[in-house]
Structure 1
Amino acid sequence: MVGAGRFAPGHLGGLTQIVPFEMVDAVLESTRTVQARVRALPSRVVVYLLLAAALFAELGYGQVWARMTAGLDGIDVADPVSSALAQARRRIGVKPLRELFDLVRGPAAGAARWRGLLVCAIDGTSMFTPDTASNLAAFGRVGGGNGPSGYPMLRMLTVVACGTRTVLGAVFGTLSVGETNYAPKLLGCLRQGMLLLADRNFAAAGLIEQVAATGADLLFRAKTNRKLPVIGHCGDGSWLSRIDTTTVRVIDAQVAVRLAGGPRRSERYLLITTLTDHRRYPATELVALYHQRWEIETSYLELKSTILGGRVLRARTPDGIAQEIYALLVTYQALRIAISDATATAAATTDRAGFSIALNTARDQVIQAAGVIADTTIDLIGKIGHAVLDHLLPAHRRRTSPRVVKRAISKHRAKGDIDRNSYKITVDVTINGQLTTGP
């Protein structure tokens, strides 16, 4: 149920059906990286090695290879040394992984829609790379009060579909370039029928113009001291304004959170949107919808904490880092598609799908070389989907917890008394004096 002969180790377990042999062969052909002769490590096998390495971030490539071949009893497979694996990865390069990501990226079934619009979010994060001269020259370190970071760091920016947390686009590079400078490179994945959410950092006039020019709508938070002149009033307390040539609607909201058994806290939100019809897109619903922006933070948690375990990336060169990140994004996307397919089939919400359950089931299938090729009776959910559905998380509860460091880097207790408990909440939204209460 795997490839024949020397191609047998080239698989990703059950995720191979999402990233099949034909897809990998096509990108190798288009990037002209197919091996000139059938080697002990054919190009297709090397691509799957890179993808499998994203599932086993704590292991070296030799141990990843051992897991890919563990279930291939009775098949004579190569036993390459680490230098052979390194040479094979360099031979493949970045292009096939980048093109493979272009093929799998995009919203999956079940992506959140609000009033017919596909809800997406854009934001950035940083990742550590090995401390080599070439990585330092390409990415740099971040400074701080206690000196520069111990490792070079890169910046990555993505657009994520809320709900399914599938990745629509990604860009990364040196940390010296800001998020708003990387953002225009991602606008190609936006189109009419989308609603893009973003925090205050992205509310620059030029970027708002560029997003609006794609045909997509936006809902950005702005700084509360920003001056936005009134050119028209809406019936729900919001007003119309103009940023350069773009007409926007401004929602000035006071969001008060009442904690069950705790205090009450309040914060002002100034939201900018191109959805100017206040009857079709009520202000209170837009304020509530903006909270979906945190879906992208959860996707970064899954990438950096659940998959990588907070580890530094492997590659010691910038090209190797690019290859590794694209492999990580492809594998993450495959996991998210598997989860989305399962929850869509069972009419369950993706919020209740356990990402770590999908990840660990995918790891088991790589070791067992299971589910590589579909049976004659096709199971649209697959082992990974069944594992997710068999262990659904509890229904989402509306609650809050303080945004503080819960486990300090230092072994000593953080100073000060901080209430670290989570509370159920009730939210009151006031828009220019009009109060709406929600659970």
Structure 2
Amino acid sequence: MNLGTPFLTTARNQPLDHLATFATSLNATLVTQALEATGTASVRRRKLPAERAAWLMLGMALLRDRSIQAVCNHLHLILPDHTGKTTISSAGLVQARDRLGIAPLKHLFDAVVTRHGREQLDANRWRGLAVLGIDGTTLRVPDSDENRAHFTLPSSGAHRESAYPQPRVVGLMALGSHFLLDLKVGAYTESDSSLSSSFDEHLPDHCVLMVDRGLLDYRRFYRHQQRGEERHWLVRAKSNLVWTVLEILGPNEVIAEVPFRRPARRSDPTRHCALRRQTEFAKNCSRWPWCTTWCVWKWPGWPVTWRSVLYEFRTGSVCC
């Protein structure tokens, strides 16, 4: 799973012909409730009231190749004035967007997750487990003083800075449906691991968490395992990882002991190592002909082929 890919393909896979297209997948009542909860509902009559400004923001997120004026016209959002005209200037649209702010959209996102998140997990379970993934990406945003100060400019080599500020985005996703359960945005200097740390408290029992090697933290995986029942994880192992084989389970599969790094041992002296189940399987990929994965050592006795299929379900687009 590459979080950037859904951002780039959503508009291509979901053509929008009219405002009614949104209504089939997003309850309009949620938009109204978000405006009321954040105190941004329109009081006076406007050509583009707050409710329709919210739909405009949703349309802009999907139709990213079009201007704000083109999106507004495409979705027929402008209410007619006393003469029956349905026109508005680009400046008026920008003002409506600024009046709306980010609070209603954040509230709307949380409301949709609360309403549909559990059913998305339950509808796409794998062997009784909710399949979750964490991954991150970066975005380029307009070059303004505020964005430079908040998101920072990444280095482009030779002591130079990038042309645009770049926020770092990390998401928690239900992999069966690609339903985004949580999202964190931070400065480029923040790591994926630190941004995603708040996800850990909301992970359900009876789940398998899949991450890429950029989020590899065995102490964090241990805490995830200990917080509830039937909590598993799966990650690609790094080539320089050191472990001690304790038991050979079969071809290309062992139970091994992995020591925690020194900083982790200082913060939690009661734990010095953890037991992990290691699986190595062949891949039809010239770049990574073999893929070594680590999972919780108490993983049920499923065959290696099932775990490899599950891993391909998670990271096939990244590895190949």
What TM-score results when the alignment is normalised by the length of structure 1?
Answer: 0.57
Q: How does 1:269-308 map to 2 (within 5 A)?
A: 269-274=291-296, 276-279=298-301, 281-294=302-315
Q: How does 1:13-412 map to 2 (within 5 A)?
A: 13-69=20-76, 76=84, 78-105=86-113, 106=117, 108=120, 112-145=124-157, 147-215=160-228, 216-231=231-246, 234=249, 237-241=253-257, 244=271, 248-257=275-284, 267-274=289-296, 276-279=298-301, 281-294=302-315
CA contact (8 A) 2:247 2:254 kept: no
Residues 248-279 of structure 1 show CA distances to partners (whole Å, capped at 9, x for unaligned) of 43214152538xxxxx7764433221261452
| In 2: Cα distance, 1:12 partner to 1:25 partner | 15
Size of the aligned set, in residue pairs, is 283
| In 2: Cα distance, 1:39 partner to 1:70 partner | 11
Structure-2 change in CA distance of 1:266 and 1:183 (3 Å): closer
The one-letter code of the counterpart of 1:220 is V
CA contact (8 A) 1:162 1:295 kept: no
Gap regions ≥5 residues in structure 1: 1-10, 259-263, 298-399, 404-439
Gap regions ≥5 residues in structure 2: 1-17, 261-270
Q: Give the match's secondary structure for 1:153.
A: coil
Q: Give the match's secondary structure for 1:251.
A: strand
The corresponding residue for 2:264 is: none
Query: Percent identity between the aligned chains?
Result: 27
Structure-2 change in CA distance of 1:214 and 1:65 (3 Å): farther
CA contact (8 A) 2:193 2:215 kept: yes
Structure-2 change in CA distance of 1:214 and 1:64 (3 Å): farther
Q: Give the match's secondary structure for 1:115.
A: coil
| In 2: Cα distance, 1:158 partner to 1:54 partner | 16
The one-letter code of the counterpart of 2:291 is Y
Residues 396-435 of structure 1 show CA distances to partners (whole Å, capped at 9, x for unaligned) of xxxx9xx6xxxxxxxxxxxxxxxxxxxxxxxxxxxxxxxx
Q: Give the match's secondary structure for 2:155.
A: coil
What TM-score results when the alignment is normalised by the length of structure 2?
Answer: 0.76
The corresponding residue for 2:267 is: none
Superposed CA RMSD: 3.2
Q: Looking at both structures, which has the greater relative contact order when contacts are Cα pairs under 8 Å and sequence separation is at least 6?
A: 1
Q: Could you tell me how far 1:125 is from its partner in structure 2?
A: 0.6
The one-letter code of the counterpart of 1:276 is K
Residues 317-339 of structure 1 show CA distances to partners (whole Å, capped at 9, x for unaligned) of xxxxxxxxxxxxxxxxxxxxxxx
Residues 352-404 of structure 1 show CA distances to partners (whole Å, capped at 9, x for unaligned) of xxxxxxxxxxxxxxxxxxxxxxxxxxxxxxxxxxxxxxxxxxxxxxxx9xx6x
| In 2: Cα distance, 1:188 partner to 1:45 partner | 35
